[in-house]
Chains A and B, each alone.
Chain A
Amino acid sequence: MKDSHDSEVSRREFIGGTGAAIVAANTIPVKAQDRSGESNERAIEDVPLTRITLTVNGTEHRVAVEDRWTLTELLRDHLGLTGTRIGCNRGECGACTVLLDGEPAYSCSTLAVWAHGRSVQTVEGLEKSGRVSKLQQAFIDHNAPQCGFCTSGQLMSATALLQRNANPTVREIREALAGNLCRCSNYNAIVEAVQAATRTGGA
């Protein structure tokens, strides 16, 4: 731990030395009260912490994040948005898919600090004034979730698709959702659900 502390000091000195005009990277020592979602522990490691601002489902959040946190960790562990799932944590499965400035991204494969200034939409943001989206309703009606663990990611990829193309073909749906695995292999039903939510209802 001593080594870690020393290297942290040297990093901070080094930042000062380069005079880097770093956007929102005012690395500060950890204080226990900054650490939401964790046990009420004293500072356990002197880890780099950065204040960022990001918009999640339309709400602006100013949060202090550890530099090593992925965006998924920020959402799930610190903003309480557990609808975004961790399937592989390696960018292989798509369960963690969110919209980053409107485009699908693996939130496990981007750091929370990199989301500074950006807009994030998660599955929790799909419902509007207590009503599920047309796509969510189609997922319900067409049995798109089996175990449901990939569902949030499938919904986010499909939401982005329908925003840019209200009437995709089956091929376009499959291509847009190609980065979202479903081990229940409910692919047929998921595509049928997305079709039903297109402008023509898949007709």
Chain B
Amino acid sequence: MAIDPLKTVGQNTPRIDAYERVTGQATYTRDIKLPGMLYARVLRSNVPHAMIRRIDTSKAEALPGVRAVMTHETHKIPYGSGSISGGRQYSDAHKDITTRLRYTFNDHVRYVGEPVAAVAAVNRHVAEEALQLIEIDYEELPFVLDVEEAIEPGAPEIWSGGNIAHDSENRQQPIGGRTGDLEAGFAEADQIFEDRFTTQFVQDAQMEPRSALAHWEGDKLILHTPTQGVSNCRHDTARDLGLEDHQVQVICQYMGGGFGDKNGNYYFDLIAAAFARDLGVPVMVELSRKDDWLATHGRWHTVQDYRVGVKDDGTVTAIQLNGLSGMGPYLRRSGNVAGMDVYACENTEKSILPVHTNRVVSGNFRAPTYPQGYFGIESMMDEVAYKLGIDPVQFALKNMVRPTETKQFTNFTLDQCIEQGAELFDWANRWKPEPGSGEGPIKRGAGMAFMMFNARLGASSAILRVNAEGRYTVYVGVTDIGPGAKTTMSMLAAEELGVPLSDVDIVWGDSDRCPYSVGESGSRCTMMTGYAVVEAARDLKRQIAENGMPQGDSVLIASATPAPTTNGKLREGFGAHFVEVEVDTHLGDVRVTKYVTVHESGRILNPLPALDQIRGAVIQGIGQALTEDLRYDSRNGQPLTSGYYWGRHLTHLDVPQIENVFIETDDGLGPYGAKTVGESGIIIAPVAVANAVYNAIGHRMRDLPITRDKILEVVA
């Protein structure tokens, strides 16, 4: 489908704030200095599960330079009573219902890393030293790390009533449901396959360690914090502190990476706010890298049991998934597992239990439910294809979802993505019909996977102003976490107004100065807030047409809060990945030697950063496939591999050149037909790599990450 070329949109455009980013002038939260500010540090539980019998802060308080110490005894601040940060059960409507309320400090500590006290002092060294002087008497409790053990009878209860997480009505019910007729689907099958796949916890690990700087003007809180959404962060913080939204101003001008679950507030925001209120001065809470690792969140780990019915001709007739998601001790996000709906098969059942353990809290990481679920379903289907002797590409084209009368899409390109990718990659020559058949100890193999990701529409706001000089100002509540939202929003305004980009200024990242934005999560900011910018620009153009340009000191202002819908159709981004790996069967190394992606994300508004969203996401996904993990000692309940050294995050030397092609379309929705980009690239990277490893060595890797010990166990 050809798209109509535009003037600004679609042009490779360097970020409008690139200068600040390459000269060190970009101001991140920790770079801010306010007169008289204090520094705070957080003390954390060093046991996985305990009741605090006694906590003695007197020595810490006596240390010169210490201004205040905070514990569960002094401050009982709910954390997560807002609509976003606390997970579903703590939405406004349900915050009074929940029986599993989390506080900023809890006397019942449930994981290593849980905050137990905080110190504000004149500098960070004094604050750190003071933490060492706090004495805590723990009554240690039995703990559980494994999701299956956690739901066995007699398992240590992290919450009274058992370790299955509550839903918003305090029910312990699985996520999922049934479609079609599962029993009929299995009855129709010639063969039934079963297998188990597991995925690991993966820390978001953004480069900027979290911090928060709070100060008060009267009864108003001003909070600087690295959030993905100033609007939601404000709302959450107000809820937790018992304030009205207008009493909180959240500011985030630059933030060092957001890969999920930062579109809200965090407990350290509340600690900074409480200290600043108590002491009457600005307070900066700084998390160490280890704090950030163990006491924020990462992708939930899963156990997935699949059962698939298939006809001898390769038609999938039934898919059943039973799974467990490890949520840590507090439910922050859903725990769902995505992926089954990328297959056309109508007879399905999915049942996922979100389970509490005494591990780090799980939360959203780039396409929160997807890489886990796609690893499961597409490993399973890859296995089925080989068992039936069918080329995985042919199996995909045969069984993938397609538009039907009852399942309509705003547009559909999944087949194109697969076919074009196979050709670009030279699948026919790189893929080995006989897995593990390469000569010599270093074996090559090829794998593929395909995906779709919701490109939803929804309400968000923008304001646009023009003055007599002809300068246009866009007001949007984005923080620009990396994809380049400030630039995109400005380009959309310039395009719709028909003015050069250089005539457009932007005000961003400030909840007092900018209208509501959904924030940068769910790959939706461009579609929702971007569409609001386009609508506001249309209104401003209309005003200019009616009234002429403003004169003197007057300005024209337009705003928009559109809430477009797809009229019941599915709106999805599509993609297919093709990977070649080299497995050294003597040493156990896996190297990615070629990686081709084809994505359809509607119209690409700014190709330069869009390409890098895909490439970066793919590389994160390769890391999930091969190295990243958070290993625990099962006897002590202690995490062993926090941080970038132990996490083995991929470096310049580990990554291949990613070759990406965008199929551009315009379905007439969203801003100029733009769809989802930011999360798309990570979804199938782990499974595509795993499928390539299978093709190389002929052994299925069912458990992520695919480390050397697992490779050598089967091939050495």
Q: Is the CB of B63 within 8 A of A1?
A: yes
Name B24's contact: one of A82, A90, A182 (CB within 8 Å). Answer: A82
The answer for the CA separation of A95 and B121 in the assembled complex, in Å, is 26
Which chain B residues border A88 with CB–CB below 8 Å? 209, 289, 643-644
In whole Å, how far is B287's beta carbon from the nearest beta carbon of chain A? 11
Query: Do B257 and A184 touch across chains, with their CB atoms under 8 A apart?
Result: yes
Stretch touching chain B among A12-20, A21-29, A40-48: A40-48
Does chain B have a CB within 8 A of A86? yes
Task: Report the nearest A residue to B31, measured CB to CB.
Answer: A82
Q: Residues of A contacting B623 with CB < 8 Å?
A: 185
Return B502 CB to nearest CB of chain A, in Å: 15
From residue A37, how far is it (CB to closest CB) to chain B in Å? Answer: 7
List 19 interface pairs A-B (beta carbons < 8 Å), by A numbering. A37-B33, A39-B36, A41-B122, A44-B121, A44-B126, A85-B207, A88-B644, A140-B15, A143-B14, A143-B18, A143-B608, A143-B609, A143-B612, A147-B258, A148-B20, A149-B28, A178-B652, A185-B618, A189-B611
- B29-58 interface with A by 8 A CB criterion: 30-31, 33, 35-38
CB distance from A164 to the nearest CB of B (A): 17
Given the interface contacts A45-B65, A82-B27, A132-B22, does A147 sit within 8 Å of B257 by beta carbon? yes
Taking the closest CB of chain B, its distance from the CB of A146, in whole angstroms, is 4
Contacting pair A147 B643 (CB below 8 A): no
The distance from the CB of A131 to the nearest CB of chain B, in whole angstroms, is 11
* Contact residues in B for A119 (Cβ distance below 8 Å): none
Q: Which residue from chain B places its CB closest to the CB of A171 in the assembled complex?
A: B653
Other-chain contact of A44, B18, B122, B259 (Cβ < 8 Å): B122
Whole-angstrom distance from the CB of A114 to the nearest CB of chain B? Answer: 18
- Point out the residue from B30, B256, B612 that lies within 8 Å of A186, measured CB to CB: B612
> Which B residue sits closest to A91, measured CB to CB?
B645
Chain B residues numbered 581-631 whose CB sits less than 8 Å from any CB in chain A: 608-609, 611-612, 615-620, 623
Residues of B within 8 A of A120 (CB): none
Q: Is B220 engaged at the interface, CB distance under 8 Å to the other chain?
A: no
Closest to A141 in B: B14
Q: Which residues of the other chain, B, contact A81 by a CB distance below 8 angstroms? A: 24
| Inter-subunit contact A191/B652 (CB<8 Å) | yes
- 8 Å CB contact of A1 from B31, B62, B208, B289: B62
Output the least CB separation between B487 and chain A (Å).
Answer: 10
Chain B residue contacts of A45, Cβ below 8 A:
64-65, 125-126
With known contacts A40-B36, A149-B256, A186-B612, A84–B653 Cβ distance under 8 A: no
With known contacts A39-B38, A88-B643, A88-B644, A187–B619 Cβ distance under 8 A: yes
CA distance A198 to B42 in the complex (A): 45
Which of A37, A146, A191 is the one whose CB lies under 8 Å from B609?
A: A146
Question: Is A136 within 8 A of B255, CB to CB?
Answer: no
**Cα–Cα, bound, A187→B617 (Å):** 11
For B644, the closest partner residue in chain A by CB is: A92
Interface residues of B in 616-665 (CB under 8 A from A): 616-620, 623, 643-645, 649-653, 655, 657-658
In the assembled complex, which residues on chain B have CB atoms less than 8 Å from the CB atom of A155? 22
Tell whether A89 pairs with B289 under 8 Å between CB atoms, given A39-B122, A40-B36, A141-B14. yes
| Cα separation A1 to B21 with both chains bound (whole Å) | 42
A92 to B484, CA, bound (A): 27
Give B1-19 as 1s and 0s: 1 = Cβ < 8 Å from A's Cβ atoms: 0000000000000110011
The one of A85, A124, A143, A185 in contact with B619, judged by C-beta atoms closer than 8 angstroms, is: A185
A150 → chain B, closest Cβ, in Å? 5
B483 at the binding interface (Cβ < 8 Å) = yes
A180 proximal to B (CB < 8 A): yes
Which residue of chain B lies nearest to A42 when distances are taken between CB atoms in the complex? B64
Residue of B nearest to A80 (CB): B33
Chain B residues contacting A107 (CB-CB under 8 Å) are: none
Q: Which interface residue of A38, A141, A149 has the most chain B CB atoms within 10 A?
A: A149
Chain B residue at minimal CB-CB distance from A143: B608
**Considering only CB atoms, which chain A residue lies closest to B659 in the complex?**
A188
Complex-state Cα separation, A183 to B619, whole angstroms? 9
A122 within 8 A of B: yes
Give every chain A residue within 8 A of B23 (Cβ-Cβ): 83, 123-124, 126-127, 132, 136
- Please report which residues of chain A, range 160-190, place their CB below 8 angstroms from some CB of chain B when the two chains form the complex: 173-175, 177-190
Say yes or no: is B340 at the interface (Cβ < 8 Å to chain A).
no
CA distance A200 to B18 in the complex (A): 24
Chain B's closest residue to A81 (CB) is: B24
B24 engages A93 (CB within 8 Å): no
Nearest 10 Cβ contacts at the A-B interface: A83-B24, A149-B256, A44-B65, A185-B619, A148-B21, A146-B482, A82-B31, A123-B24, A147-B482, A147-B257
Q: Does A11 contact B (CB under 8 A)?
A: no
Q: Are B616 and A122 in contact (CB under 8 A)?
A: no
A93 to B644, CA, bound (A): 7
- The answer on a CB contact under 8 Å between A132 and B19 is yes
Shortest B68–chain A CB gap in Å is: 14
Question: Which B residues lie within 8 Å of A186 (CB)?
Answer: 612, 615-616
**CB of A117 within 8 A of chain B?**
no
Task: Answer yes or no: B205 CB below 8 A from chain A CBs.
Answer: yes
The contact of B19 among A41, A140, A181, A185, by CB within 8 Å, is: A140
Least CB distance from A64 to B in Å reads 15
CA distance A146 to B484 in the complex (A): 7
Q: Within the complex, what minimum Cβ distance (angstroms) separates A46 from chain B?
A: 9
With CB as the reference atom, state the residue of chain B lying closest to A157. B652
Bound-state Cα–Cα, A42 to B501, Å: 51
- Does A31 have its Cβ within 8 Å of any Cβ on chain B? no
Give the residues in chain B near A177, CB-CB below 8 Å. 652
**A148 and B254 form a contact (CB under 8 A):** yes
Within 8 A of A (CB), among B297-339: none
What residue of chain B has the Cβ atom nearest to residue A176's Cβ? B652
Known contacts A41-B122, A124-B24, A149-B256; is A181 also within 8 Å of B655 by CB?
Answer: no
Residue pair B21, A38 in contact (C-beta under 8 Å): no
Q: B30 touching A86 by the CB < 8 A rule?
A: yes
Q: Please tell me if B26 contacts chain A, counting CB pairs below 8 Å.
A: yes
Whether, in the assembled complex, A202 has its beta carbon less than 8 Å from a beta carbon of chain B, the answer is no
* Closest Cβ neighbor of B24 among chain A residues: A83
Chain B positions 99-126 with a Cβ under 8 Å from a chain A Cβ: 121-123, 125-126
Cβ of B481 < 8 Å from any Cβ of A?
yes
The answer for the CA separation of A76 and B123 in the assembled complex, in Å, is 14
Of A40, A127, A184, A186, the most chain B CB neighbours within 10 A belong to A184
Give the CA-CA distance A152 to B31 in the complex, in Å. Answer: 14
Q: How far is the CA of A93 from the CA of B618 in the complex (A)?
A: 20
B25 contacts the other chain (CB 8 A): yes
Q: Is the CB of B643 within 8 A of A188?
A: no
> Does B399 count as interface, using CB distance less than 8 angstroms?
no
How far is A143 from B609 in the complex, measured between Cα atoms in Å?
6
Query: In whole Å, how far is A85's beta carbon from the nearest beta carbon of chain B?
Result: 7
How far apart are the CA atoms of A37 and B125 in the complex, in Å? Answer: 14
B288 at the interface (CB under 8 A from A): yes
Shortest beta-carbon distance, B477 to chain A, in Å?
18
A102 to chain B: which residues have CB within 8 Å? none
List A residues 50-90 near B (Cβ within 8 Å).
66, 68, 76, 81-90
Nearest CB of A to B640, in Å: 15
The distance in angstroms between the C-alpha atoms of A175 and B653, with both chains bound, is 7
A104-147 interface code vs B (CB 8 A; 1 in, 0 out): 00000000000000000011101100001000100111111111
A85-B26 Cα distance, complex, nearest whole Å: 11
A38–B35 alpha-carbon span in the complex (Å):
9
Residue from the list B20, B126, B482, B658 in contact with A184, Cβ < 8 A: B482
B206 at interface, CB cutoff 8 A: yes
6 more contacts with CB within 8 A, not counting A82-B24, A188-B655, A188-B658, are A123-B24, A146-B609, A173-B652, A178-B651, A178-B652, A187-B619
Assess the B289–A87 pair: CB atoms within 8 A: yes
Task: State the Cβ distance, B215 to closest chain A Cβ, in Å.
Answer: 13
Known: A81-B24, A185-B655. A147 touches B64 (CB 8 A): no
Say whether, besides A88-B643, A147-B482, A189 and B207 are in contact (CB < 8 Å): no
